[in-house]
Amino acid sequence: MLQTRRFTDRSALSMPTTPTKPRPARKAVVPAAEGTRRHRQIADKRAAILGAALGLFSRFGLHGTTIDQVAAAADVSKTNLFYYFANKEALYVAVLRDLLDVWLEPLRAFAADQDPHEALAGYIRSKLAFSRDRPEASRLFCLEVIQGAPLLRDELANALRALVDEKAGVIRTWVDGGRLAPVDPHHLVFALWAVTQHYADFATQVELLTGRTLADPDFFEETVANVQRIVLQGAEPRA
């Protein structure tokens, strides 16, 4: 019995065993909160770079600003900056597109079923608020256009033109319906841009001549009221 048990035991020990398959490595699971935090960090860093670049480009222009200056102002390394933007020109165009998108938002709101006076009054207030809150953005856009818009020409000739043509159609509807004086829609848009952006592009002149700026709440409200009165009375339909 003992020998048989030993033989059996040895046979069991000598039997080939089926190799076990290695378990696949588990993929690292990033918690949703962690992914959201990373996206927010990326967005915040990109916004910091754009903000720093806007301040420098509006003061020194494209050619007078260096990547080193932008990186230092945004508190990032050059290597990190190039992760977000391929070169200085790409950064410059991104800044312009970003501000153009915000700058045009009030114009996008124009609709044929709006009261034209309320629409124009609201637009004037929004554009003057932009001139008050982001004067450097207005000045940078002005500088780019004065130079012939070399890096923004396609944007102006396509996206901006399409939007202005669309909203000119809205203004024309108001005119045809007798709700506005017979003004050319494009010239009305140009006049709105000129008078509202003046307070940003020529802020120094405004301050030297009046001793006040749009940062003064009372002066801001006075400016809004006066510009609204001038524009709306000029666009008032005649009996």
Position 2 scores a pLDDT of: 45
User: pTM higher than 0.85, yes or no?
Assistant: no
Residue 111 has pLDDT above 60, yes or no: yes
Q: What residues have CB less than 8 Å from 100, skipping those under 6 apart?
A: 141, 152, 155, 160
- Residues 181 and 122 grouped into a single domain: yes
Quote the tokens at residue 68: 């080193």
125 lies in a domain?
yes
Position 23 scores a pLDDT of: 62
- Residue range 152-200, pLDDT digits in tens: 999 999 999 999 999 999 999 999 999 999 999 999 999 999 999 999 9
Position 9 scores a pLDDT of: 47
- Residues 116 and 214 grouped into a single domain: yes
Position 4 scores a pLDDT of: 46
Position 35 scores a pLDDT of: 72
- Residues 130 and 203 grouped into a single domain: yes
141 lies in a domain?
yes
Residue count of the chain, please give it.
239
Q: How far apart are CA 53 and CA 45, in angstroms?
A: 12
Domain that holds residue 208: 96-234
Q: How far apart are CA 114 and CA 106, in angstroms?
A: 13
E strand intervals along 104-198: none
28 lies in a domain?
no
- Taking residues 111-116, report their average pLDDT: 96
Query: What CATH number is associated with residue 73?
Result: 1.10.10.60
- Residue range 79-107, pLDDT digits in tens: 999 999 999 999 999 999 999 999 899 99
> Would the CA dihedral through 142, 233, 128, 165 be positive or negative?
negative
29 lies in a domain?
no
